[in-house]
Structure 1
Amino acid sequence: MDALRVYGGRDDLLDEPMPGHAYVDLVDGPFDGRLLDVTGWQDEDRVEGSLLITDRGLYGAGGRTYYAPDETNAQGPFRWRGDTP
C-alpha cells in the first residue's frame, strides 16, 4: 500500500497520518488524493470547509484552493470547489 500524503507536508516527503488525528480525504483539484488534518475541528468548521495555500492552483504562488464537504456529509470527503487569489 502506498503511503498517504497529508496536506501541509513537504512535497519531497511522504507524510503519513499521525495516530490519534482525524483526517478527511481531499478529492479533485490540486490536492487530490491527499488528506487534511481536521483534528479538533467542530462540525460547524467542517461544514465551512477550508481555503488551503497552494502554488499549484489557478493563481500560482500565494493562491488558495477551496475544499468543502458535500452538503449531505460534513464529515468528508472534502471536494475541490475552485481557486482564489
Structure 2
Amino acid sequence: MDELEFMRGRVYGADHDDPGPRDGRVYAELSGGPLDGLLLDVTDRTPADLADGIGLRTEIGRYGPGGRAVYVPRGPGRVLEWRGDLP
C-alpha cells in the first residue's frame, strides 16, 4: 500500500491507532494538496467558519513542519479544495 492509499479515508488530526471516522460526526473530504483524501471533522463548524478557508497544519506541505495547507469549500457539497500553502 502506498502513502496516498494509506491516508485516504483517514481523519485529519486523528490518532494513527484510530484513524477512521466516528458515528454521529460530520466530515468534509480534503481534495488536492498535501492532505488530499483525508477527512476533516466539520461537525462543530458553520459554513461561515469555512467560507474564507481553513489553514491546517501539516509537515508535508511546501513549508514543511509548522506550515499550513489552506482548504476552501468547493460548491455546496462537503468537499474542501486545496488553495495553497502558508508558512
CA contact (8 A) 1:4 1:14 kept: no
Partner of 2:42: 38
Structure 1 stretches of 5 or more lacking a match?
none
In the alignment, what sits opposite 1:8? 13
Q: How many residue pairs are counted as aligned between the two chains? A: 81
- Pairwise mapping of residues 25-64 of structure 1 onto structure 2 (< 5 A)? 25-64=29-68
Aligned-partner SS, 1:29: coil
Paired residue type of 2:69 = T
Cα distance in structure 2, aligned partners of 1:4 and 1:14: 12
Shift of 1:49: 2.5
1:29, distance to aligned residue in structure 2 (A): 0.5
Deviant stretches of 4+, over 6 Å: none
Query: What are the ranges of 5 or more consecutive residues in structure 2 without an aligned counterpart?
Result: 1-5
Task: Provide the aligned C-alpha RMSD in A.
Answer: 1.9
- TM-score w.r.t. the length of structure 2 is 0.82
Paired letter, 1:78? L
Q: Deviations over 1:7-41 (max 9, x none)?
A: 0124x446110111010000010111110000111
SS at match of 2:51: helix
SS at match of 2:34: helix
Structure 2: distance between partners of 1:48 and 1:38: 14
